[in-house]
Structure 1
Amino acid sequence: MSEQEPLTTRPDATTQETLSAQAVRLLAEHCPDALGAVLGGSAGRGQARPTSDLDLAVLLPGSASSRREVIRHEGRPAELFLHTLDDLPGAFARDRSLRRGTLLFVYAQGVPLLDPQGHVARARANARALLAAGPIPLTPAERERSRYVLTCWLDDLLDTPRAERYEQLATADHLLREAAHLLTAHHGAWTGIGRWLPRRLLTADPELGEALLRGHRTVAEHADPAPLATAAEKVLELAGGPLREGYVQLH
């Protein structure tokens, strides 16, 4: 999908050139009035698989409407992040508040395809500055909520019998996501979902992130919750400890 970060796979320049050319043709057909465009994702890195989609950030004139659109072009799916110049700063701000930086990574690390007036260059510089500044920190209430939720999932994981494999696996999944959310926030780092969760987690904290991921795998392979529980407890210690009685959520 659209989030980006350098991976260990060596970029394929030929593949990147081919997909860049395909993306240029897509722009000419579907976005002829585009003011600029960036190819992101695995296609922009030269690491696309045969079924990878094209992630394209496109700048539009003010008369257009900002939107996210999925199409198919020349047999390949393409996800378009379409924004007017006026709407792009707000989109960057929303991206930062969500703490995943999806659009920011596309602009900052993608391959410029079209930029006759320098709009893309300025957007890329802004995106890089915002990425360097990091995501919006959790508010005290959000942090307390995350501590409480992670504590609940930890208690549920330890309370689930090994024989209840479906329940154990579902609980472990939720615990990993919440622990990643809290740990990346503790480090002021970007988070992610799906396959980007382990990538961002390991970037934020290689040692504890690895412990969480190995613990999750141990639950899946051996029905043993102990390593994951130990790693989650360490995350909670960083955030102020488990939170159970005394927690209040205001509405």
Structure 2
Amino acid sequence: MRRMKRMKAPFAAKRFVDEEFPHCQAALLAGSVIRGEETPTSDLDIIIFDNQIEEAYRESRIEYGWPIEVFVHSLTSYKDYFRSDAERARPSLPRMVAEGIVLKDSGILSTIKNEAAELLNNGPAYWSEQTLTTKRYMLTDALGDLIGTQNEAEALFIANTLAEAIHEFVLRTNGQWIGASKWIVRALKQYDEDFAERFVKAFDAFYKTGNREGIIKIADEVLAPFGGRLFEGYSVGK
């Protein structure tokens, strides 16, 4: 069966909104297609603002040759998602709203976009001393596991844990938003391209050759300003 030819992304997104949400107050197209990072597997991220809905929801569709992820909000529900994203330090919805191109607007998007931009510019709340201590201990613990294990299968997954932990630690201690999956590297590049390059090289070397030294070095680097590795004296609930 011949694959359906894709419409241009903005046209497909606009048609989807017109046909599926004709009475919405506003709609945005976000994601890789508007950043010039489109790949053969890219989808359309569409955000809908509709005062007729009672609860926000997300839905996946395939239309006009495109996989479509649609995020539907009332004129107030997005605020809860903004708040939740800020608390977890991964601003998925605010970022989509801030960068999104307008598909439809009854006059409300300027305010919502300003809210998203302000949240992004403010950055996440800084860790408390207790949280910082706990994260420092957890990073030390995972690092010790990587140094000590002789099981290469286990080492693969310890390294995965360290990649998440190192990226989170360096970004949160510097007041930056974190990422997940492909956004780990993107978030690191937004913070410091040199650090991001060294981070990728360290893990690339491990996965290709088993050399752990680069990971150990970069973990110690991010821990150093906060006293280095932490084990002795760490306590919870005492």
TM-score of the aligned structures, taking structure 1 as reference length:
0.86
2:70 corresponds to 1:80: yes
Q: After the TM superposition, which of the residue ranges 220-229 and 89-98 deviates more from structure 2?
A: 89-98
**CA separation of 1:238 and 1:56: change in aligned 2, threshold 3 A:** farther
2: CA distance, partners of 1:95 / 1:106: 12
Q: Which amino acid aligns with 2:122?
A: A
CA shift for structure 1 position 180: 0.3
Q: How does 1:2-21 map to 2 (within 5 A)?
A: 18-21=8-11
The structure 1 segments of at least 4 consecutive aligned residues displaced by more than 6 Å after TM superposition are none
Q: How does 1:22-41 map to 2 (within 5 A)?
A: 22-41=12-31
CA shift for structure 1 position 169: 1.4
Q: Which runs of 5 or more structure 1 residues have no equivalent in the other structure?
A: 1-14
Q: Is the contact made by 1:147 and 1:243 (CA closer than 8 Å) also made in structure 2?
A: yes
Q: How does 1:94-109 map to 2 (within 5 A)?
A: 94-109=84-99
Q: Which runs of 5 or more structure 2 residues have no equivalent in the other structure?
A: 1-5
Residue in structure 1 matched with residue 144 of structure 2 by the alignment: 155
Q: Is the contact made by 1:56 and 1:78 (CA closer than 8 Å) also made in structure 2?
A: yes
Q: Is the contact made by 1:192 and 1:200 (CA closer than 8 Å) also made in structure 2?
A: yes
Q: How many residues align?
A: 233
Taking every aligned residue pair, what percent have the same amino acid on both sides? 29
Query: Per-residue displacement from partner, 1:72-127 (whole Å, max 9, x unpaired)?
Result: 222321111211111122211111111111111111111111112x2112111111
Q: Is the contact made by 1:212 and 1:232 (CA closer than 8 Å) also made in structure 2?
A: no
Residue in structure 2 matched with residue 131 of structure 1 by the alignment: 120
RMSD across aligned positions (CA): 1.9
Q: Is the contact made by 1:69 and 1:79 (CA closer than 8 Å) also made in structure 2?
A: yes
TM-score of the aligned structures, taking structure 2 as reference length:
0.91
What secondary structure sits across from 1:38 in the alignment? strand
**CA separation of 1:64 and 1:241: change in aligned 2, threshold 3 A:** same
